[in-house]
Amino acid sequence: MVKHDHNPAVLQVVRYGLPLVILIFYVSASWNFSYTPDSTYLSLRLARTIAAEGVFGTVPGHPCATPNPLWAYFVAVGTLLRVDGLLLAKIFSLFFSCLVVVLTYLLATEVLRDRLLAFCSALGVATSGLVLQVAPAGSALPLALTCVLAALFFMLRNDYLLAALMIGFASLLFWQAAGGFLLLLWDAWMNSTTPGRRVRVVLVTSLVYLATVLPWVLLAVLRSVPPLPWMVSLDDFPGLSPATGVATAIPALAAAAASVGMLRHGQVDGLTRQTHMIIVMWACWFAVCFAIWGWDFYLFVLPVVIIYAFSGTQQLSLSSRPASAYAQALFMAGVLILLHQLAFNNNVKPVMTQTEKDSEQLVELAYWIKNGVPDQDFVSANRPELLAYFAGRPIGLWEMGNRPSTEYVVSSEEDVWGYAVVHRASHLGEDGLLPGAGRFAVWKKR
**C-alpha to C-alpha distance for 41 and 11, rounded to whole angstroms:** 43
Q: In the listed set 350, 375, 406, which residue is the last one of a domain according to the structure?
A: 350
Do 317 and 389 share a domain, yes or no? Answer: no
Do 282 and 409 share a domain, yes or no? Answer: no
**C-alpha to C-alpha distance for 253 and 236, rounded to whole angstroms:** 26
What's the pTM value of the predicted model, to 2 decimals? 0.91
In sequence order, what are the beta bridge partners of 409? 380, 443
In sequence order, what are the beta bridge partners of 429? none
Q: Which pLDDT score is estimated for 58?
A: 75
Helix and strand totals (H; E) in the chain = 16, 9
Number of domains in the chain: 2
The b/e string for 207-233 (b: 16+ C-beta within 10 A; e otherwise) is ebbeebbeebeeebeeeebbbbbbbbb
Is 134 part of any domain?
yes
Do 48 and 74 share a domain, yes or no? Answer: yes
Is 2 part of any domain?
no
C-alpha atoms less than 13 angstroms from C-alpha of 73 in its C-beta half-sphere = 10
Q: In the listed set 303, 330, 350, which residue is the last one of a domain according to the structure?
A: 350
Do 315 and 218 share a domain, yes or no? Answer: yes
Contact 136, 93 (CB under 8 A): yes
Do 329 and 344 share a domain, yes or no? Answer: yes
Q: Which pLDDT score is estimated for 433?
A: 47
**Which domain range does residue 416 map to?**
354-445
Do 310 and 431 share a domain, yes or no? Answer: no
**C-alpha to C-alpha distance for 370 and 392, rounded to whole angstroms:** 7
Local mean pLDDT, 10-residue blocks, the chain (446 residues): 58 86 95 93 89 75 82 90 91 97 95 89 94 95 97 95 97 96 94 85 96 94 89 85 85 85 62 86 95 92 93 64 71 91 92 91 93 92 92 88 88 88 77 60 91
Is 393 part of any domain?
yes
Do 364 and 314 share a domain, yes or no? Answer: no
Is 26 part of any domain?
yes
Q: How many CB atoms lie within 10 A of CB 391?
A: 22
Do 344 and 432 share a domain, yes or no? Answer: no
Do 396 and 314 share a domain, yes or no? Answer: no
Torsion sign (Cα): 167, 171, 175, 181: positive
Instruction: State the greatest distance between any 2 C-alpha atoms of the chain, in Å, as a whole number.
Output: 77
**C-alpha to C-alpha distance for 173 and 139, rounded to whole angstroms:** 11
**C-alpha to C-alpha distance for 282 and 396, rounded to whole angstroms:** 37
Do 367 and 409 share a domain, yes or no? Answer: yes
Summarised one tens digit per residue, pLDDT across range 286-333 is 999 999 998 899 999 999 999 999 887 766 655 455 566 678 888 889
Is 397 part of any domain?
yes
Is 3 part of any domain?
no
Do 364 and 345 share a domain, yes or no? Answer: no
Summarised one tens digit per residue, pLDDT across range 183-235 is 999 999 988 878 888 899 999 999 999 999 999 999 998 888 889 999 988 88
Work out the burial of residue 362: count CB atoms within 10 Å of its CB; fewer than 13 is exposed, 13-18 middle, 19 or more buried. buried
Contact 251, 306 (CB under 8 A): yes
Is 129 part of any domain?
yes
Q: In the listed set 297, 317, 350, which residue is the last one of a domain according to the structure?
A: 350
Contact 364, 425 (CB under 8 A): yes
Is 35 part of any domain?
yes
Torsion sign (Cα): 413, 418, 421, 425: negative
Do 324 and 414 share a domain, yes or no? Answer: no
